Structure 1
Amino acid sequence: MAAASPPPLPPYSLRADKLKLLSTCDTALATSPQPVVLAICGSLNPIHNAHVKLYEAAKAALTSDQQSYAVLGGFFSPVGDAYGKPGLRSAAQRVAIIADAVRDHPDLNVDTWECTQATYTRTFYVLQQLEQHVNAWYTQSEPQAMQQLHAQGRRVRVVFVCGADLFSSFWRPGCWPLHLLKRLLDTFLMVVVYRDVEGEVKSAEDFERVCQTSPALAETAADGRMTELDMRAYHFNFAQFDSPDDTSSTAVREVAVALTEAEEKSGSTTERERLQQQLASMVPASAVATIVEYYGNGGG
């Protein structure tokens, strides 16, 4: 039986209730910490603990003694329905799950601009819109603090946070339109979070080596416009997960289906409890029930 759908998403507005006030940060001087908001994009089908750990690792890296950033909060931005990935739950369902997952988190919220667009929206435009909305909110909420930032030639900046797999896809032909990837790297700060695993790339130094030794990427658009992208020109921040976490959305969906089937078939109490505990170890506790409701039937 198909799960009941949540109400349609309301018209877009920035969910700013968890953003820290600029007045709580030291922004008096041009050399003061740069205020930033972190953004994590993806299908989030569904969100799980490793997604939350992306934020925690990136925040820790940016606020370490070697860095000078003031993290004001963070947003998950799920793709819209037009992304068309098989098995993708509706934006309304995924937003409801994310909202439940971050309900008790002090910093994190969900941003719905991307998933309310009628067409698939590239990451550059998602980050661009989020930065505009965040700065507009601070301008309205704290005009004096924003005037001070502007006088220093600064603004609240969005930081793009991603995992190592997504970062590696920058080099995959056809995966990223190079003219948009170049604009993204020219405009936004970035943190790449990686797992401590065996392999060729297993440290920040390894990632830096790849960036410094890879040949420049090139693309010719349909209109003949040529784009060349040299990764050596950019600085990337690298962070490591605090603890290993190989949770995947695929695994979460499989456990949700198995749990639903065990409950419908009146399976053994031991098996149901095992599956419940397994799911609870993969996703925030506040999202377990919603994930089972929307993914337990296994259909699209």
Structure 2
Amino acid sequence: MENSAKTEVVLLACGSFNPITNMHLRLFELAKDYMNGTGKYRVIKGIISPVSDAYKKKGLISARHRVIMAELATKSSTWVEVDTWESLQKEWTETAKVLRHHQEKLEASNGGHQHNSPVLERPGRKRKWTEQRQELSQKKPLEPQTKGGPKVKLLCGADLLESFGVPNLWKSEDIAQIVGQYGLVCVTRAGNDAQKFIYESDMLWQHQSNIHLVTEWVTNDISSTKVRQALRRGQSIRYLVPDLVREYIEEHGLYSAETEERNAGVTLAPLRRNTADASA
């Protein structure tokens, strides 16, 4: 299938990235291979969006450091980049709003853009190409236009999918918007109950065609929590995070027993907001 017949996809990963690990980067590669392999999609970009400090998760260090580490981690990537918009918000921002922000940004930058237009090296070619394009459009409309341009999809692990079932952590309307309007690309391990979780949820089952489950056959148990634990114990984190990230952590002494107690006893922002809204 030609690229023109495929839906272009931008993978968006939201999270703490406290710190970013090799696992986070691996999720993008797994998701890209899967989506491209379906023959229906073409992944054109990956975006890492660290959450703002207002999220108030226990042990969450400054967004400034988390953004810099993510940028260092993606320095060698040709297609994954870091976006700071969410991290700079004074208030915690719902994931559905972050998805909408990036979708609108994409639409604004791609408005009227022809993905398959040749480069017009000389002014004299413009009229000729316009005539050819009009002739082609009469025969068959260009696929990218009918597909509506690039689509943002939320990239996540099975833990995020299952967190939809935690009371007051997500608004039901936000879940409906995320899976219905945008879609999920969920990386899960062989034997994981993600499919069962979808089956047991009426809302997820309704939008199951927009939830792509990617099996991670080469399992990876690296987590930010385990990295922080190793750092507190003075153990090596080499090969758990990119070398540039490790060097940055060591240079700034980022994680310790003290930083792990940051926001201790503080209610997580989504729980606080959604509980308040439910009781209002």
When normalised by structure 2's length, the TM-score is 0.76
Pairs within 5 Å for 1:219-258? 229=203, 231-235=205-209, 236-258=211-233
Task: Flag the structure with higher helix content.
Answer: 2
Q: 1:170-203, CA deviations, whole angstroms, 9 ceiling, x for partnerless residues?
A: 122222110111111121121111123xxxxx15
Q: 1:238-260, CA deviations, whole angstroms, 9 ceiling, x for partnerless residues?
A: 1122421111112211223334x
Measure, in 2, the Cα distance between the counterparts of 1:146 and 1:256: 49
Contact 1:45/1:249, CA 8 A, preserved across alignment = yes
Q: Does 1:188 align with 2:150?
A: no
Structure 2 counterpart of 1:4 = none
Question: Which letter maps to 2:18?
Answer: N
What SS does structure 2 have at the residue aligned with 1:47? coil
- Following TM superposition, where does structure 1 have runs of at least 4 consecutive aligned residues deviating by more than 4 angstroms? 146-150
How many residue pairs are counted as aligned between the two chains?
Answer: 232
Q: Does 1:71 align with 2:58?
A: no
Uncovered stretches (5+) of structure 2, i.e. residues with no partner: 118-141, 260-280
Structure 1 residues 296 and 151: CA distance shift in structure 2, 3 A: closer
Structure 1 counterpart of 2:60 = 88
Question: Which letter maps to 2:64?
Answer: A
Structure 2 counterpart of 1:284 = 242
Structure 1 residues 123 and 240: CA distance shift in structure 2, 3 A: same
Pairs within 5 Å for 1:155-174? 155-174=149-168
Return the offset for 1:284. 1.2
Structure 1 residues 42 and 294: CA distance shift in structure 2, 3 A: farther
Contact 1:99/1:109, CA 8 A, preserved across alignment = yes
Structure 1 counterpart of 2:103 = 131
Structure 2 counterpart of 1:97 = 69
Match of 1:295 among 246, 251, 254: 254
Structure 2 counterpart of 1:112 = 84
Match of 1:38 among 3, 7, 11: 11
Q: 1:70-98, CA deviations, whole angstroms, 9 ceiling, x for partnerless residues?
A: 11110111110111112211111100000
Measure, in 1, the Cα distance between the counterparts of 2:116 and 2:165: 37
Return the offset for 1:298. 4.2
Structure 1 residues 82 and 209: CA distance shift in structure 2, 3 A: closer
What SS does structure 1 have at the residue aligned with 2:149? coil
Identity of aligned residues (%): 29
Question: Greater relative contact order: 1 or 2 (C-alpha under 8 angstroms, separation 6 or more)?
Answer: 2
Uncovered stretches (5+) of structure 1, i.e. residues with no partner: 1-24, 197-201, 217-228, 260-274
Return the offset for 1:296. 4.0
